[in-house]
Amino acid sequence: MLEFRDLFQWDRFITPTIIKTFYWLVIALIILSGIRGIFAGLSEMAISPFGGFLMLLSSLAGIIVGMVFSRIIAEFVLIVFRINEHLGAIREHGRM
């Protein structure tokens, strides 16, 4: 669990504990911007049906692609920290 004093000490990384929170915040922002794009596409359909339909499809595709890429980035960050932990364990095992 993350404690307040961990913010001022460099013995432990705080990123692995808060990456999930940032991931869900990014997902919420992606969904909100996608919904905004969907409504913009629906209002654009009144002016240009084809342009509005393309905007609607691109908003839906943006939601899906944004969710996938944000998951990939979050997993990459966690993998880097896990590699660091394993290398530290290997180093400590070698000293014994």
Query: How much of the chain, in percent, has pLDDT values that exceed 70?
Result: 86
6 or 71: which leads in pLDDT: 71
Q: What is the pLDDT of residues 20-42, one digit of tens each?
A: 899 999 999 999 999 999 999 99
Q: Burial letters for 44-73: b for 16+ Cβ neighbours within 10 Å, e otherwise?
A: beeeeeeebeebbeebeeebeebbeebeee
The Cα-based distances of 62 to 20, 21, 26, 45 in angstroms read 21, 21, 13, 19
94 or 31: which leads in pLDDT: 31
